[in-house]
Structure 1
Amino acid sequence: MTSDVSGSSAAKSAIESLGVLQEDLRRRMFLFIRRARHPVTRDEAAASVGISRKLAAFHLDKLVDAGLLRARYAAPGGVPKVGRQPKVYEPSEAQIQVSVPERRHELLADLLLTAVLGERQDESAIQAALRTAAEQGRRLGEQERSRSRPGRLGAERGLTLCERMLEGHGYEPVRESATRLTLRNCPFHPLAAKAPDLVCGMNHAFLAGYLDGLDAGAVQAVLAPRPDECCVELRRADTASAAQPDAEDE
């Protein structure tokens, strides 16, 4: 369950990219280049939609700026030419995914695949999945700790660091009080509803592992299922035993 880009930044980038594709000519050129299976020149792109080379260049540059295409100078077909090589365009490796609320099924699938491939002889598939989730969370927490070098973490500082990670992974964290952080979105819904013991268990193990890697002993991940929200919430450790909000949190 790791990501190189925060959820809010990734969502914004995806929405902006989709906005670029709203223009009909631009979208048709983009699809033509994706299906061409070879670098496409401006002339080829222009001819594919019946516009001038100059207008095609404008739209192609918009697609490059959005990260949907990449451009370079090369001879078409790989045959060297005398003089300056033409600019050619080809698909980038960008993948666009937008969901509201945010879903992270690919992260859950990655965890499950890692668990299957790394299952030990002395554990069941479910045990392997829980262990893998905890290890992944711990690595993420250790990375955050090495970046921020927070020193000894109290509950409030620990919740603040967790909030940033949770926002980036689509949990939609809400600070209910100084001691309690609830998660309004389950990034793994509706799969969590189909296998709650497995998915919620992995989710809990991942967040608990993150706190362990962060060395945020003053904060604890607690299973507290609520309809249409994440099954886990984060609390100050000395209030975490309660399954429902403490009186001071109301």
Structure 2
Amino acid sequence: MTTAATPPEPTAENRVESVAVLTDGQRRRVFGFVRRARRPVTREEVAADSGVSVKLAAFHLDKLVEAGLLRTRYETPAGVRKVGRRPKVYEPTGTDIHISIPERRPDVIAEILIDAVLTEHQEGSARAAALRTAHRRGHDVGSAERARTRPGRLGPERSLNAVEPVLESYGFEPDRQAPTTLRLLNCPFHHLTARDTELVCGINHAFLTGVLDGLETTGINAVLAPHPGRCCVEFCEPGADAGA
């Protein structure tokens, strides 16, 4: 079974900005109304629900669109009489917003484990299937990044340049120690390691190895190098002293 590549998720900075937009009480009410409607709504409907002018409703709606929480298009909603040109309507984007500092990403591990269990009957034990699935998921992520950036041939240093943005987007907080050595200061899956450290670290290692393989890097390995307060994986040249 091939795991489909997942679309890029909002960065931590994007999520903070989205939450900041919702600090305004009136804007939260507008957002809540649009979400509860379960259909595209007009500025006039939002204004009527919120008890504000259409102009102010439009202002709040457009701020929510800018933050990525709503999307907009032109159409006549069901139950609204068509008069003249189609009105601008708003609906949720479906993006879930969560904030954690430092970044935690248990959802990635959860998705991998679910996919692994679904393939267990075909490919062996659940643990082995989890590692295979993690590598496939990482490979999809790396391949998508390579297709997006078209970096050409990647030697050791350029490999780390290519993988750093991916690691940052997943909350690993990459820290370049040398041109060809990269530590990860944060484990996005930290809370899950208490359940089974060996399994979670193994999945993490397989996922990050898959990212490198998808990017088609050379001269850099993802190696297990457990260290208190850091991710268990580091990136370095083969034979380098990892974990110091």
Query: Aligning the two structures, in what range does the TM-score lie when normalised by the shorter sequence?
Result: 0.7 to 0.9
The aligned residue for residue 248 of structure 1 is: none
The 8 Å contact of residues 227 and 243 in structure 2, kept in 1 or not, is answered as no
State how 1:81-230 maps to structure 2 within 5 Å: 81-121=82-122, 123-146=124-147, 147-151=149-153, 153-230=154-231
In the alignment, what sits opposite 1:53? 54
Moved more, 212-221 or 229-238: 212-221
Paired residue secondary structure (2:194): helix
Deviation at 1:186, TM superposition (A): 0.3
User: What is the alpha-carbon distance in structure 2 between the residues aligned to residue 118 and residue 35 of structure 1?
Assistant: 37
For residues 42 and 166 of structure 2, the distance between their equivalents in structure 1, rounded to whole angstroms, comes to 42
SS at structure 1 position matched to 2:230: coil
How much has 1:3 moved relative to structure 2? 5.4
Alignment match, 2:238: 237
Within 1, Cα distance between the matches of 2:144 and 2:87? Answer: 44
- In 1, the alpha carbon distance for the partners of 2:91 and 2:109 equals 31
Larger of the two Rg values belongs to structure: 1
| AA partner of residue 67 (structure 2) | A
Q: Does 1:65 align with 2:66?
A: yes
- Check whether the contact 1:217–1:237 (CA below 8 A) recurs between aligned residues: no
Q: Any idea what the Cα deviations from partners look like across 1:99-141, whole Å, max 9, x if unmatched?
A: 1111122211111111111225452100000111122223333
Q: For residues 201 and 36 of structure 1, do their structure 2 counterparts lie closer, same or farther at Cα, with a shift above 3 Å needed?
A: same
Is the contact between residue 225 and residue 243 of structure 2 (CA under 8 Å) also seen in structure 1? yes
Does 2:44 align with 1:5? no
C-alpha separation in 2, matches of 1:134 and 1:119: 15
Q: Distance in 2 between matches of 1:10 and 1:243?
A: 28
Corresponding pairs, count: 240
What TM-score do you get using the length of structure 1 for normalisation?
0.84
Separation in structure 1 between the aligned mates of residue 79 and residue 145 of structure 2, nearest angstrom: 45
User: In the TM superposition, what is the alpha-carbon distance from 1:88 to its structure 2 partner?
Assistant: 3.1
2:21 equivalent in structure 1: 20
Amino acid at match of 2:65: V
Do 2:12 and 2:169's aligned partners in 1 also have CA atoms closer than 8 Å? no
Percent identical among aligned pairs is 52
Asked if 1 retains the 8 angstrom alpha-carbon contact of 2:234 and 2:243, the reply is no
Post-superposition offset of 1:31: 0.8
**TM-score, normalised via structure 2 length:** 0.86
2:42 matched to which residue of 1? 41
2:234·2:242 contact (CA, 8 Å) conserved in 1?
A: no
Deviations 1:206-232 (A, max 9, x none): 222233333434112211111221011
CA distance in 1, matches of 2:220, 2:160: 7
Separation of aligned partners in 2, 1:109 and 1:168: 18
Aligned-partner Cα distance in 2 for 1:30–1:49: 10
For the 8 Å contact 2:106–2:191, the answer to whether it is kept is no
Distance 1:144 1:64, change over 3 A: closer
SS in structure 1 at match of 2:152: coil
Once the two structures are superposed, what CA deviation does each residue of 1:1-46 show, in whole Å capped at 9, x if it has no partner?
A: 965437xx62222222222211111111211221123433323322
Change (3 A) 1:40 1:168: closer
SS in 2 for 1:234: strand
Matched residues in 2 for 1:144 and 1:65: separation? 25
Cα contact 2:143–2:215 (8 A) shared by 1: yes
